[in-house]
Amino acid sequence: MTAARPNLVVIVSDDQGPWALGAAGNHEIRTPVLDELAERGVRLERFFSASPVCSPARASLLTGRIPSAHGVHDYLDGAHAGPAGRDHLEGVTTLTDALADAGYRLGLSGKWHLGASDAPRRGFVHWYALEGGGSPYHDAVMYRDAQPEHVTGYLTDVIADDAVAFIDAEQAHDAPFFLAVNFTAPHKPFAGQHPDEYTALYRDCAFDTCPQEEPHPWLQTLDGAPIGGEPDAREALIGYFAAVTAMDAAIGRILDALRRNDREDDTIVVFLSDNGFSCGQHGFWGKGNGTFPMNMYDESVMVPFIISAPWMLPCGVVDDRLHSAYDLPATLMELAGLDESPFESGPGRSFAGALRGESPSPRSEQRPVVVHSEYGPVRMIRTHDRKYVHRHPHGPHELYDLAADPRERENLADLPSHSDEVSRLRRMLRDWFAVHSTADADGQGLPVFGAGQTRPLGDDPLGAFALPGWDDAR
């Protein structure tokens, strides 16, 4: 290796379902670059977001804490820049803080969506951030450091080109680098947004991998279309698949930059998405806020995850153990040869040993093999073969036998034959959140309808979310 510590390139897609990857078994979607990356690394089949919506999920990836500890519970709305923009993670220790303290040079190319996108965070020598949480693919506002730029080029390529430029420029420095590449793909808008060379690949696609099921009873719509989709479902599918394939090609250029600069043998590359997504599965489009009540289906809370470092980790391994976003900061710290313990004071545990194929450590064995997700008052506990969803205060609650019913079709929560199992999982869920949530950030009583969080929870718990009619209901 040319650096004392490995470089880190973490690539995050936006709203990519766990099914939307060739290496995961989807025979229709074309992701040759990511498929090859999986062959050169470890693919986690069951990696879960901490929340099925972007801002809280991204906050957990950076902090190793759950939304009910860091206080970001919905996608962030309101001011994204300027005097009214706020850093929603101010005062919370992040992975990037720890890497900066260890001497890493930090770069960001793409989406931030954690407030104050025009304010580079500590340690970042390169900051190229999308103003808000999403935009059309040919009409975006980016902030290079504190200065806005109106971008009309294809946004996926713009982000990738900026990431490549950062990698090239870093070769003049001896310190290791960390680069966050945060694409907006494949987030909507879908139809008519992507280059013809990619949409043409799917004009005749049958889309058997995402059948359009009967509308879910809890489906949320806007102007007659699912809020996570568009009126023409087939055109939306073409756009979604094209967005993933175009992003895959863009990732190829980033990996080529590492090869060209002879950095493949000292750079850990991670690919994942912020949250999952349904394109018709379960009868809705979107993720957790695609339905009301908010859903916790695996398509919403599970994401693709690949990590590649052939000089450190095995190649071509598929791991079906349960891991979560709140485990990632500790894992990357350990892989970088740094102290992971600051990110294990909460629920997170490094799974670096599992990636290396080692036996579980005594510390990791202390945690039951479960993962948790939350979205405001909706909380989930997931074991290998069971899922329990609890909705404060009145339900409806859900229990799924994932061994017999992997598609989550038969809710067993109200059956007397499963009452003991519901009680056990409910107790585990309650005890876990009692340990890991904090009083000023606990989301179980929040009126989350997927309408956007405008300010940190601690300012005013009842006013933390700008929701139509909520002021009238207080």
Mean pLDDT lowest among 23-27, 87-91, 298-302: 87-91
Q: pLDDT over 70 for what percent of the chain?
A: 93
Domains of the chain, with CATH numbers?
7-365 (3.40.720.10), 371-449 (3.30.1120.10)
d(CA 105, CA 136) in angstroms, rounded, equals 30
Give the per-residue pLDDT at 472.
Answer: 26
Segment 408-414 shows an average pLDDT of 98
Q: Is the pLDDT of residue 425 over 50?
A: yes
> What's the CA dihedral at 460, 466, 469, 470 to 10 degrees?
-30
Per-residue pLDDT at 460 exceeds 60: no
- 20: pLDDT confidence band, cut at 50, 70 and 90? very high
**Residue 24 CA to its chain's centroid (Å):** 17
Tell me the average pLDDT across 255-263.
Answer: 98
The torsion angles phi and psi of 262, rounded to 5 degrees, stand at 60, 45
CA torsion angle 412 413 419 422 (round to 10): 110
pLDDT reading at 462 higher than 50: no
What pLDDT, in 10s, does the model give residues 367-382?
666 999 999 999 999 9
> What is the rounded average pLDDT of the residues 183-197?
98
How far is the C-alpha of 463 from the C-alpha of 401, rounded, in Å?
38
Residue 362's pLDDT is 58
* pLDDT for the residue numbered 24: 98
What lies within 8 Å, CB to CB, of 456 at 6+ separation is 71, 72, 86, 88, 464
Q: What is the DSSP string of 129-141?
A: EESSS---TTSEE
User: For position 367, what pLDDT does the model report?
Assistant: 62
pLDDT at 470: 28
Name the pLDDT band for 366 (thresholds 50, 70, 90): low
Q: What is the mean pLDDT of residues 12-21?
A: 98
pLDDT for residue 447 is more than 90: no
Residue 449's pLDDT is: 76
What is the model's pLDDT at position 363?
A: 57
pLDDT for residue 361: 61
> Widest CA span of the chain, in angstroms?
67
Q: What pLDDT was estimated at residue 365? A: 52
CA–CA separation, 168 and 261 (whole Å):
7
Give me the amino acid identity at 290: G
pLDDT(1) > 60? no
Q: Is the confidence at residue 235, as pLDDT, over 50?
A: yes
Percent of the chain whose pLDDT exceeds 90: 89
Average pLDDT over residues 260-274: 97
Cα–Cα distance, 354 to 202 (Å, whole number): 37
Give the pLDDT confidence score for residue 324 in this predicted structure.
97
Residue 174 CB neighbours (<10 A): 11
DSSP string, 212-238: -PSPPTTB-EETTEETTS-S-HHHHHH
pLDDT of 114 above 80: yes
Residue 170, pLDDT > 50, answer: yes
Instruction: For residue range 325-355, list pLDDT tens digits in order.
Output: 999 999 999 999 999 999 999 999 999 999 9
Mean pLDDT value across residues 213-241? 95
